[in-house]
A and B are shown apart, each in its own frame.
Chain A
Amino acid sequence: MRRPELLFPGIALAVAVVLAALGIVVVTAQESAVLVKFVNGSLPVDPASPLWPKPADVPLTSQTLVYPLAPAVENRAVSVAAVHNGTHIAFLLTWKDATQDAAKPGGLDVFPDAVVVQFPVSRAQLPYICMGTVDNPVNIIYWRAGVGVENLVAGAGYGLSPQQREALGLQTTPTSPVELLPDSAQVVQAYAVYKDGAWYVVLIRPLGSVHPLMSSLADDFSAAFATWDGSKGERGGLKATSGWVQFRLERRIFAAPQPTQPAPTTMTATQTSATTVTQTYVVETTPAWAWVVIGVLVALLAVVAGLALRRR
């Protein structure tokens, strides 16, 4: 006798298998990370400085938007190089833009060219790529031509009580999912040059965090990027974004480099091809075997449930 509910165990089984497979697939995908080179002393603020390592190209895709905004279809890239000196980290972001658009007094129809770097606040798992969620916020460095640089937090706002928000130095009522961190956390410096149809923006911030909603980059970290082309009227959601890119800090190298230590050259070989991680990269901390066990358990449960139903 055919009963429709018998279908469910089968579906559950299929889902379980897919889930297990996904778990394995996700974890076994090994991305190469961009190496954050160690430099001794002060960090370079000049984009032409020889201290910058070879940059990695991060592909950017125009964000899909809904009415009333225009869905843009454009692919571009931003080149990323990073160095650190043990206390601070510097990013060199380079991207092509045929027109220089900077905010200016009386610039009513000027939309500034801009770039952001987005970091997960929590190390537990990667946040939602589109500016985080209430549970898992992101820390954003937002640079705009002619405006300057801001250290922002996104996603956290609506998940905090007024008391918590006050303690964090935020406005008691959130007005936006993206908020400016308090003045004490505005510790990012920016140096920008527009030359030969390209922006060169150097962003420098402390490696550690100075605010609970600011990311610490003291260990390896992930980051995502976005750029705005002001001449195309890009503002707000009209932008091109990347996926998550992994960064690995080069450990401090002392005066006499020892050949026995892992040579920096071997690492630089991997840095040139940064691949982006898809949004399905859900759980970073759960090891592969756990996923297999979970998958098998779910499958077993499904089978048992199916048998129970059939017996009835």
Chain B
Amino acid sequence: MNVRAQISMVMNLDKCIGCHTCSVTCKNVWTNRPGAEYMWWNNVETRPGPGYPRQWENQDRYNGGWALDGGKLKLRIEIKKDYKPPGLDDYYEPWTYEYEVLFSEKQTDQQPVARPISLIDGQPMDVSYGPNWNDDLAGTDLLLEDPNLDPLQKSIYAQFKDVFMMYLPRICNHCLNPSCLAACPRKAIYKREEDGIVLVDQSRCRGYRYCVAACPYKKVYYNWKTGKSEKCILCYPRIEAGQPTVCSLTCVGKIRYMGVLLYDADKVLDVAAEPDPTRLVRRFIDEVLLDPFDPNIVSAARSAGIPDDWITAARRSPVYKMVKKWQVAFPLHPEFRTLPMVFYVPPLSPVVTTFERTYGAKITDVFPRVSELRIPIKYLASMFTAGDTALVEQALKKLIAVRIYERSKNVAEPGLADKAKQALAEAGLTEQDAEEMYRLFAIARYEDRFVIPTNPKRYVNQPQLKAGMAGLP
């Protein structure tokens, strides 16, 4: 066992209101620079939809991530021999508006118009695509480009348009098996040993863009001005000081949670090479992620040099609870085999609202048949569990059981207390679990949502770091 610690994140999609505050604050802090105008280290997608860059999940188009080749992990760019990164058309041409006109225009009968101008060359342009173009019906036709919709769902969606929707905020997943890192021939990308943050060393990067092509989430971006690639840095200067990332801090819906996860680095490659993709998430949670309450794991963590305050933080970690303890949060597209360390609680609300008397209904009535749900569980499973619908179902059952339980405490409805007990039992939760989940999901305070130990720079005296090397070998 080789225990490592990583700062990771959970996003509770139930609470995302799609306000894009995370994206905008991230941009203001990190990417309001020339060459980075088109980059959104954090972006929010309205799903179903093509996402940003367009159809990023379609690896037949972008060749990102890993695939098994004769049972062995191989980069898709290597298998396909296609190393082409996305072009500006695949993202979008960034623009602003010619606001100066509003001040300088002479008085006429018409109001002056601030026309869109390109942020690349400053010329007037027609805006025809954007980073979330399908949102608010701007590009409804594009909804059907979503790679997670199967043909049947597509035909239903084409008929009814608004059958379901959800928001999907995305950052770099700071994966345990990062394909961007593996693809870099310059070894410019490294995963920090102390907190697992994946970074691009700007002094080593030569702008070859293999990482851009190899990242299945398309979260490495090429800066055409500097000629180098860059990506989300998980706000590491803030993390080192024990503060949450900017996107987490400014999140209006308070959907984001950050904390320590302990994992077994020896298991990473074995699990990533699991032949059956639907087993990836289960094995990831069971074998790679570790229980910080297990004395054997704690002693292994100590001997691996993980400080006590990090182990304590791992026990208090909201991420640990949601991902490992209750198993209600899942990685995005585990079938890309990078073992992403940002997790999502699948959205429940749109499911619930389809049933008129949800709260009164027996939990077994709520989930009678997967095909009857408004957000098709298949869609969520395609996104978060590589198609394992049972995992998504059990997570949604837990979420709904907690709601029924909380309702039974506050609403005097005959028989509700029994229903709550039954729901909890069916979801496999105790009352204590339900209380804790309620606290964390509904009324968590800053210090509950963000349990981030400071970085004591414990590797600073290691000579190999002084020699200019860092990260995993």
Most buried by B among A67, A68, A173, A233: A68
- Which residue on chain B has the smallest CB distance to residue A107? B224
Q: Are the C-beta atoms of B77 and A176 separated by less than 8 Å?
A: no
Q: Are the C-beta atoms of A235 and B224 separated by less than 8 Å?
A: no
Given contacts A68-B75, A174-B468, whether A106 and B208 have CB atoms under 8 Å apart is no
- Point out the residue from A104, A108, A147 that lies within 8 Å of B222, measured CB to CB: A108
Q: How far is the CB of A202 from chain B (nearest CB, A)?
A: 23
Q: How far is the CB of A297 from chain B (nearest CB, A)?
A: 41
In the complex, whether A268 has a CB less than 8 A from a CB of chain B is no
**Which residues of B have CB within 8 Å of A67?**
78
Q: Are the C-beta atoms of B75 and A147 separated by less than 8 Å?
A: no
**Which residues of A have CB within 8 Å of B81?**
70
Q: Are the C-beta atoms of B86 and A105 separated by less than 8 Å?
A: no
**Which residues of A have CB within 8 Å of B227?**
103, 147
Q: How far is the CB of B194 from chain A (nearest CB, A)?
A: 20
Q: Are the C-beta atoms of B120 and A173 separated by less than 8 Å?
A: no
In the complex, whether A50 has a CB less than 8 A from a CB of chain B is no
Given contacts A70-B81, A107-B224, whether A176 and B87 have CB atoms under 8 Å apart is no
Interface residue ranges of B36-93 to A (CB < 8 Å): 38, 75, 77-78, 81, 83-88, 91, 93
In the complex, whether B104 has a CB less than 8 A from a CB of chain A is no
Q: Are the C-beta atoms of A106 and B468 separated by less than 8 Å?
A: no
Tell me the complex Cα distance, A107–B81, Å.
21
Q: Are the C-beta atoms of B203 and A171 separated by less than 8 Å?
A: yes
**Which residues of B have CB within 8 Å of A173?**
468
Contact with B along A97-139 (1 / 0, CB 8 A): 0000001111111010000000000000000000000000000
In the complex, whether A53 has a CB less than 8 A from a CB of chain B is no
Interface residue ranges of B174-231 to A (CB < 8 Å): 182-183, 185-186, 201, 203-204, 206-210, 212, 214, 222, 224-225, 227
Interface residue ranges of B215-272 to A (CB < 8 Å): 222, 224-225, 227
Q: Are the C-beta atoms of B83 and A176 separated by less than 8 Å?
A: no
In the complex, whether B105 has a CB less than 8 A from a CB of chain A is no
Tell me the complex Cα distance, A279–B426, Å.
73
Tell me the complex Cα distance, A111–B214, Å.
17
Q: Are the C-beta atoms of B120 and A105 separated by less than 8 Å?
A: yes
Q: Are the C-beta atoms of B83 and A233 separated by less than 8 Å?
A: yes
In the complex, whether B121 has a CB less than 8 A from a CB of chain A is yes
- Which residue on chain B has the smallest CB distance to residue A236? B208
Interface residue ranges of A166-193 to B (CB < 8 Å): 171, 173-176
Tell me the complex Cα distance, A233–B63, Å.
15
Given contacts A68-B183, A174-B468, whether A106 and B77 have CB atoms under 8 Å apart is no
In the complex, whether A9 has a CB less than 8 A from a CB of chain B is no
**Which residues of B have CB within 8 Å of A105?**
120-121, 224-225
Q: Are the C-beta atoms of B468 and A175 separated by less than 8 Å?
A: yes
Q: Are the C-beta atoms of A69 and B84 separated by less than 8 Å?
A: no
Given contacts A68-B75, A175-B203, whether A106 and B209 have CB atoms under 8 Å apart is no
Tell me the complex Cα distance, A104–B182, Å.
28
In the complex, whether A208 has a CB less than 8 A from a CB of chain B is no
Q: Are the C-beta atoms of A109 and B468 separated by less than 8 Å?
A: no
**Which residues of B have CB within 8 Å of A147?**
227
- Which residue on chain B has the smallest CB distance to residue A235? B208
Contact with B along A292-312 (1 / 0, CB 8 A): 000000000000000000000
Most buried by B among A108, A111, A176: A108
Q: Are the C-beta atoms of A176 and B186 separated by less than 8 Å?
A: yes
Given contacts A68-B77, A147-B227, whether A108 and B203 have CB atoms under 8 Å apart is no
**Which residues of A have CB within 8 Å of B85?**
108-109
Q: How far is the CB of B279 from chain A (nearest CB, A)?
A: 26
Tell me the complex Cα distance, A106–B225, Å.
8
Q: Are the C-beta atoms of A237 and B88 separated by less than 8 Å?
A: no
**Which residues of A have CB within 8 Å of B121?**
105-106
- Which residue on chain A has the smallest CB distance to residue B75? A68
**Which residues of B have CB within 8 Å of A103?**
224, 227
Tell me the complex Cα distance, A194–B452, Å.
56
- Which residue on chain A has the smallest CB distance to residue B94? A106
Q: Are the C-beta atoms of A108 and B78 separated by less than 8 Å?
A: no
Q: Are the C-beta atoms of A106 and B120 separated by less than 8 Å?
A: yes
- The 15 sampled A-B contact pairs (Cβ below 8 Å) are A67-B78, A68-B77, A68-B78, A68-B185, A69-B185, A103-B227, A108-B88, A108-B91, A109-B86, A109-B88, A171-B203, A174-B468, A176-B203, A235-B207, A237-B185
A residues near B, CB below 8 A?
Answer: 67-70, 103-109, 111, 147, 171, 173-176, 233, 235-237
**Can you list the 8 inter-chain pairs with the closest CB atoms, starting with the nearest?**
A109-B87, A175-B203, A106-B120, A68-B78, A236-B208, A173-B468, A235-B208, A106-B88
